[in-house]
Chain A
């Protein structure tokens, strides 16, 4: 079984401030973790993925995430928020027993204030 919890359904930051979106996972076997972003009326776009090669993963648009096994976390960060980062962000997990089936967290809506 696998599950994902995203703490904070809404996060608001000022432009230029640090972005931190939290994700905790549960998986009975080693996980593969992903972050996706969704803009209004659009599908999901992959930001980055963790596949056990390195614990710090760099993605597109300046985002990165760190896998911490001891904390079962995979938090997403960006040093400086931009107005264009305003969107909904989803953390997802899969594992070797699940094919390509993704289990998503509830999502976090990021708002960026000017």
Chain B
């Protein structure tokens, strides 16, 4: 079974631009979560989607948004990029509706210059 696939792996953007990151979950998983990882703040939860509905949202500004498609693939978008958005963005998929283990992709390394 293929794992969680995130594209692209690396991205360099300029301040003020917007970016879209993509995540393909493990086949059959309906839950997709996104996390931001930085040296200063560690791993922070962004949002979770389950069957195309956002179930949980972390404490991030409205510039961060996401969506999930009917095939469970998910995208997250960051508008008006700031230098502080530079981070590793991790996507995870889970097999059940709650309390199930998360399987992580390798992440997208976003650098904002």
Point out residues on A near B: beta carbons under 8 Å.
Answer: 32, 34, 36, 41-46, 49, 51, 90, 94-96, 98-107
Contacts and interface: CB of A to CB of B under 8 A. Distances in A.
Interface of B: 4, 31, 33, 35, 42-45, 48, 50, 55-56, 58, 90, 92, 94, 96-107, 109
Contacts of A96: 98-99
Nearest to B10: A41
Contacts of B109: 41
A42 B90 CA distance: 10
Contacts of B42: 104-107
A99 B98 contact: yes
Contact of A43 (B90, B97, B101): B90
Nearest to B58: A101
Contact of A99 (B44, B55, B90): B55
Nearest to B46: A101
Nearest to A36: B104
Given A44-B104, A95-B99, A101 B43 contact: no
Nearest to B32: A100
Contact of B31 (A34, A42, A45, A100): A100
Nearest to A106: B42
A43 B56 contact: no
A42 B17 CA distance: 26
5 contacts: A32-B99, A43-B107, A51-B99, A100-B33, A100-B97
